[in-house]
């Protein structure tokens, strides 16, 4: 963070006194004997006090103004650390720094003790966290709803080159940011049966008698916006066994049974599913989804009714955004609550449901489209299954009335998939139950219209819209890169911090000033030195901060094509070995990312990266010209260290497969140049930055699609026509990088050759050529740093403030 120049001595003294008081009375430690962790807790609690004042003011204001509320339902929030976020948004960073230095406490050391809250897998969860911060900044009255997982995403250890998953324990030392709310609690039912009864008015009603009830307990974390603008709430639910029930059984002597029930209930909030973009077909996952949706809807309906006295105006005062299909059961649950519990007529309830809900789609990968077996739904959520059948029947009747009888159309838009055993399609459910369905980049939204939702789009042409993702600049620029931020403020003015979308373009003329480019390069150099230190401490590998830092950090997935990058690494290695005396551009290939625990191919790619690193780093011929690093346990904090130190950003997914990407934006904002395909938000970045300041290569989405339609997956001819690719594949296949197990990569290489699903071979030569352009540009520092400055200057549009303004204006209608 840039220094806040004037801090008052009174403020510093007050903060210091508050920290000491927290340390003594809340943590229960004598300053003389406090550990660093005790200090962290005391500082966090003192910071939280400041948030609470704003929080209560803001909440009172929302009530007074009768503001519309936005509810963001997400199974994932990839938050990271909060201390710096909170201090800097409150404008207290410099106050805290001075107060602590008077106490001889180094805030830089203390802040790294905070565990990363990793309640998410990757981009989707991080988007939810960026959105929470932007909503607080823009004054949208928002509540985030999710699950308070006891164990977040696993910790990745690399042992002998292989990924091992270790349990993550972020709550071991408590969580100073949250407030437990035992009084905010709802019962969530599972299983049992549905009984039709005729009520006193003679109306037939369905009464659900769940076999099991789980209690949800709220934990609230205040989320503060930039300059303390407003403070919203992230409400996460923990599952508890319904204690009275279990005490009865315990007293009756069924001790084990009582404990088993407790464990079963509490397992719901035990652990985050580590699956990224793949189906998690587990009953527990469905229990998690329904648990948090039901608790959240009960909570928001109670709030609405208390404030408005009726549900008839629900869409006017509440907007519920579904982050992917994970909360799609909300469609059926909202109908159940309105019809069964609050006795509204079906048609009216449907109108309110559609008017209130909206849905964001995050992926087109067929294996990631969520479906649940009808048999499982009938067993776990019998009333919801009935409601889904009813929604489906009403919908199909309505289409027939409109004269639509096309069997293929009706089959495609049905909520039930009949082909592979009967399953409920959560994407179609979310689509039908929402007034808005959005994609997350222009390309992705177009593809939604022409592929997964083609038929539904024909029926509801107004429903699909685009909201290109964004990132919060507070975390990804101001906090992650204080050096660059200071330089930008010095050049463009202090107001930059409040309005980067409009003021970053003022940086453009500086791209032509040699003195500025020099300073721009120098701050990058300092970030690279810091990263080199981190790599040396963790891996014992020495990096030259003068080398080109070529970075690919993200979940490991075949479609993201870390393999393509690794093939280039090997090709470069071979080229250098062939002609070691050529003037090679010194390069460091940096990788990081986790693979889903059950995703074998992704785990093999991690092993390959580590195998290549071992051989390359140990080869004296290429020393000084090529290094390969795989940094373990990629998370938000590691991203904050790596991204400001990157020269080259690898965004090389198979075109048509990355919905948006957000790390592409983080890198460009920090001045890295992108090598990438025309996929996801890269397309829009290219339009704004200018293609001449990026390295775009490879098949376009339409070309990929055409090859797939034609069944062109065999890459033998491609390999035969490319001696370089052929040599790379032969080296990997023959065990050059796996002498301990020469056959390790035979299957992998044969797969690429015979069935190149992700077009790795097809794009290899174009990628090699683009990498050559990278080197030519790097050798011309004027051109490189000019492009680098222009990248930063031109990506203001990718602020999540812009994205949220679009959601608030066009989907939620929640801006005053
Ligand atoms: C931004 C971010 C992501 C998303 O990265 P993509 O390259 O867009 O997939 C994933 N994980 C973390 C920790 C991030 O910060």
- Residue 89 reports pLDDT greater than 60: yes
Q: What is the average pLDDT across 498-515?
A: 98
- Residue 3 reports pLDDT greater than 60: no
Residues 386 and 460 in one domain: yes
Cβ pair 431, 359 in contact under 8 A: yes
Residues 310 and 266 in one domain: yes
Rounded Cα–Cα distance for residues 332 and 340 (Å): 11
743: in domain:
no
Residue 446 DSSP label: H
The phi-psi region of residue 287 (left if phi > 0; otherwise alpha if psi is between -120 and 50; otherwise beta) is alpha
pLDDT digits (tens, 9 = 90+) for 734-777: 999 999 999 999 999 999 999 999 999 999 999 999 999 999 99
16: in domain:
yes
Q: Which of 287, 607, 666, 733 is catalytic?
A: 666
Residues 510 and 550 in one domain: yes
- Residue 4 reports pLDDT greater than 90: no
Nearest CA to ligand 1 atom 1: 663
Rounded Cα–Cα distance for residues 354 and 350 (Å): 6
219: in domain:
yes
Cβ pair 357, 331 in contact under 8 A: yes
Rounded Cα–Cα distance for residues 656 and 451 (Å): 11
CB-based burial, 777-788: b 16+ in 10 Å, e otherwise? bbeeeeebbbbb
- Average pLDDT of every residue of the chain: 95
Q: What is the average pLDDT across 571-591?
A: 97
Q: What is the pLDDT of residue 244?
A: 60
Domain CATH number, residue 700: 3.40.50.2000
Between the CA of 705 and the centroid of ligand 1 the distance, in Å, is 26
For 633, list phi and psi in degrees, rounded to 5: 60, 60
Cβ pair 559, 654 in contact under 8 A: yes
Closest CA to 636 of 607, 663, 600, 605: 663
Indicate whether residue 660 lines ligand 1 (CB < 6 A). no
Q: What is the average pLDDT across 576-595?
A: 97
Residues 251 and 329 in one domain: yes
Residues 141 and 251 in one domain: yes
Between the CA of 636 and the centroid of ligand 1 the distance, in Å, is 8
Residues 128 and 104 in one domain: no
Range of the domain at 595: 475-494+504-710+763-799
Residues 368 and 480 in one domain: no
Point out the least confidently predicted range of 102-116, 311-325, 567-581: 102-116
pLDDT digits (tens, 9 = 90+) for 130-181: 999 999 999 999 999 999 999 999 999 999 999 999 999 999 999 999 999 9
Q: Which residues pair with 185 in a beta bridge?
A: 217
What's the token pair of residue 94?
A: 């410099």
555 in active site: yes
Rounded Cα–Cα distance for residues 654 and 671 (Å): 24
Query: For residue 562, what are the CA distances in angstroms to 168, 516, 549?
Result: 25, 34, 16
> Which of 80, 81, 121, 126 to mutate to test ligand 1, by most ligand atoms within 8 A of the CB atom?
126
Compare 202 and 489 and report the one with higher pLDDT.
489
Q: What is the average pLDDT across 331-360?
A: 97
pLDDT digits (tens, 9 = 90+) for 625-655: 999 999 999 999 999 999 999 999 999 999 9
Rounded Cα–Cα distance for residues 144 and 78 (Å): 12
Rounded (5°) CA angle 805-483-156? 75
Q: What is the pLDDT of residue 816?
A: 67
Distance of CA 27 to the CA centre of its chain: 33
- Residue 341 reports pLDDT greater than 60: yes
418: in domain:
yes
Cβ pair 587, 569 in contact under 8 A: no
Residues 565 and 523 in one domain: yes
Rounded Cα–Cα distance for residues 155 and 153 (Å): 7
Q: What is the pTM of this model?
A: 0.97
726: in domain:
no
Residue 676 DSSP label: E
Cβ pair 608, 748 in contact under 8 A: yes
The span from the first CA to the last CA of the chain, in angstroms, equals 31
Q: What is the average pLDDT across 189-202?
A: 94
- Residue 1 reports pLDDT greater than 70: no
pLDDT digits (tens, 9 = 90+) for 6-58: 789 999 999 999 999 999 999 999 999 999 999 999 999 999 999 998 999 99
Closest CA to 605 of 595, 590, 616: 595
Query: Hey, how many other C-beta atoms are within 10 angstroms of the C-beta on 263?
Result: 11
Cβ pair 41, 176 in contact under 8 A: yes
651: in domain:
yes
Indicate whether residue 269 lines ligand 1 (CB < 6 A). no
Query: For residue 137, what are the CA distances in angstroms to 110, 230, 282, 598?
Result: 26, 6, 37, 39
- Residue 82 reports pLDDT greater than 50: yes
Residues 102 and 199 in one domain: no
> Which of 120, 153, 552, 554 to mutate to test ligand 1, by most ligand atoms within 8 A of the CB atom?
554
Taking the CA atoms of 304, 310, 311 and 313 in sequence, report the sign of the dihedral they define.
Answer: negative
> Which of 131, 662, 685, 803 to mutate to test ligand 1, by most ligand atoms within 8 A of the CB atom?
662
Structural domain count of the chain: 3
Query: For residue 281, what are the CA distances in angstroms to 142, 275, 720?
Result: 31, 10, 41
Rounded Cα–Cα distance for residues 144 and 156 (Å): 27
Residues 48 and 73 in one domain: no
662 in active site: yes
- Residue 192 reports pLDDT greater than 60: yes
pLDDT digits (tens, 9 = 90+) for 211-257: 999 999 999 999 999 999 899 999 999 999 986 656 666 677 777 77
Residues 52 and 76 in one domain: no
Compare 118 and 2 and report the one with higher pLDDT.
118
Q: How confident is the model at residue 88 (pLDDT cuts 50, 70, 90)?
A: very high
373: in domain:
yes
Residues 783 and 679 in one domain: yes
Rounded Cα–Cα distance for residues 452 and 37 (Å): 49
Between the CA of 275 and the centroid of ligand 1 the distance, in Å, is 14
Q: Which of 554, 594, 607, 733 is catalytic?
A: 554
Query: Hey, how many other C-beta atoms are within 10 angstroms of the C-beta on 21?
Result: 14
661: in domain:
yes
Rounded Cα–Cα distance for residues 774 and 808 (Å): 40
With H, G, I as helix, E, B as strand and everything else as coil, classify residue 652. coil
């Amino acid at each position: 963070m840039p220094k806040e120049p004037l801090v008052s001595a009174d403020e510093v003294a007050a903060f210091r006194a508050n920290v000491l008081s927290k340390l003594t009375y809340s943590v229960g430690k004598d300053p003389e004997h406090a550990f660093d962790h005790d200090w962290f807790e005391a500082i966090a609690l003192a910071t939280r006090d400041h948030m609470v004042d704003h929080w209560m003011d803001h909440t009172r204001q929302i009530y007074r103004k009768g503001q519309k509320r936005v509810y963001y339902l997400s199974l994932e929030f990839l938050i990271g650390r909060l201390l710096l976020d909170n201090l800097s948004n409150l404008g207290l960073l410099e106050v805290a720094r001075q107060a602590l230095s008077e106490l001889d406490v180094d805030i830089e050391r203390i802040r790294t003790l905070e565990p990363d809250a990793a309640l998410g897998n990757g981009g989707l969860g991080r988007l939810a966290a960026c959105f929470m911060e932007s909503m607080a900044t823009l004054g949208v009255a928002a509540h985030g709803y999710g699950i308070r997982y006891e164990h977040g995403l696993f910790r990745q250890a690399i042992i002998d080159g292989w990924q091992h998953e270790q349990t993550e324990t972020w709550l071991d030392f408590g969580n100073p940011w949250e407030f437990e709310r035992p009084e905010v609690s709802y019962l969530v039912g599972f299983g049992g049966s549905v009984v039709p009864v005729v009520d006193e008015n003679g109306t037939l009603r369905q009464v659900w008698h769940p076999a099991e009830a789980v209690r949800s307990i709220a934990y609230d974390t205040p989320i503060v916006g930039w300059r303390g603008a407003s403070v919203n709430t992230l409400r996460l639910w923990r599952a508890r066994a319904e204690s009275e029930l279990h005490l009865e059984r315990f007293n009756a002597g069924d001790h084990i049974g009582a404990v088993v029930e407790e464990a079963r209930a509490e397992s719901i909030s035990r652990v985050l599913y580590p699956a990224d973009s793949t189906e998690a077909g587990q009953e527990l996952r469905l229990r998690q989804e329904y648990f948090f949706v039901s608790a959240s809807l009960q909570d928001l309906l109670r709030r609405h009714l208390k404030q408005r006295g009726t549900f008839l105006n629900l869409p006017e005062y509440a907007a519920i955004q579904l982050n992917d299909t994970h909360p799609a059961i909300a469609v059926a649950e909202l109908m159940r609550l309105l019809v069964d519990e609050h006795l509204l007529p079906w048609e009216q309830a449907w109108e309110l449901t559609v008017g209130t809900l909206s849905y964001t789609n995050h992926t087109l990968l067929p294996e990631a489209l969520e479906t649940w077996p009808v048999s499982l739904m009938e067993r776990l959520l019998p009333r919801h299954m009935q409601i889904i059948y009813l929604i489906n029947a009403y919908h199909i009747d309505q289409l027939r009335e409109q004269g639509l009888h096309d069997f293929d159309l009706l089959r495609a838009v049905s909520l039930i998939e009949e082909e592979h055993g009967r399953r409920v399609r959560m994407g179609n459910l979310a689509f039908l139950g929402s007034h808005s369905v959005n994609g997350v980049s222009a390309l992705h939204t177009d593809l939604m219209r022409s592929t997964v939702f083609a038929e539904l789009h024909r029926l509801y042409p107004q429903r699909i819209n685009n909201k290109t993702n964004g990132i919060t600049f507070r975390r990804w620029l101001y906090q992650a890169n204080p050096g660059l931020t200071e330089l930008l403020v010095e050049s463009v003015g202090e107001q930059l911090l409040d309005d980067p979308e409009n003021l970053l373009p003022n940086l453009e003329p500086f791209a032509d000033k040699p003195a500025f480019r020099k300073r721009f390069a120098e701050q990058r150099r300092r970030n690279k030195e810091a990263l080199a230190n981190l790599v040396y401490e963790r891996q014992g590998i020495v990096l030259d901060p003068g080398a080109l830092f070529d970075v690919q950090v993200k979940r490991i997935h075949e479609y993201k094509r870390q393999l393509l990058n690794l093939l280039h690494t090997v090709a470069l290695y071979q080229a250098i070995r062939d002609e070691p005396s050529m003037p090679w551009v010194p390069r460091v290939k940096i990788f990081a990312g986790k693979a889903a625990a059950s995703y074998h191919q992704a785990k093999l790619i991690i092993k390959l990266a580590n195998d290549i690193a071992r051989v390359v780093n140990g080869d004296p011929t290429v020393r000084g010209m090529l290094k390969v690093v795989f940094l373990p346990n990629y998370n938000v904090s590691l991203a904050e260290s790596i991204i400001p130190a990157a020269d080259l950003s690898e965004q090389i997914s198979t075109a048509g497969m990355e919905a948006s990407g957000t790390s592409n934006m983080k890198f460009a904002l920090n001045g890295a140049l992108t090598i990438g395909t025309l996929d996801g938000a890269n397309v829009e970045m290219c339009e704004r930055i200018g293609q001449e300041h990026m390295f775009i290569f490879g098949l376009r989405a339409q070309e990929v699609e055409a090859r797939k339609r034609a069944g062109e997956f065999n890459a033998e001819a491609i390999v035969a026509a490319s001696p370089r690719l052929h040599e790379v594949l032969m080296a990997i296949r023959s065990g050059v990088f796996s002498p301990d197990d020469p056959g390790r990569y035979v299957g992998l290489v044969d797969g690429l050759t015979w069935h190149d699903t992700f077009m790795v071979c097809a794009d290899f030569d174009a990628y090699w050529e683009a990498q050559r352009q990278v080197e030519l540009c790097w050798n011309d520092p004027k051109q490189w740093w000019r492009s680098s400055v222009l990248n930063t200057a031109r990506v203001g549009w990718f602020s999540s403030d812009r994205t949220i303004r679009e959601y608030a204006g066009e989907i939620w209608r929640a801006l005053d």
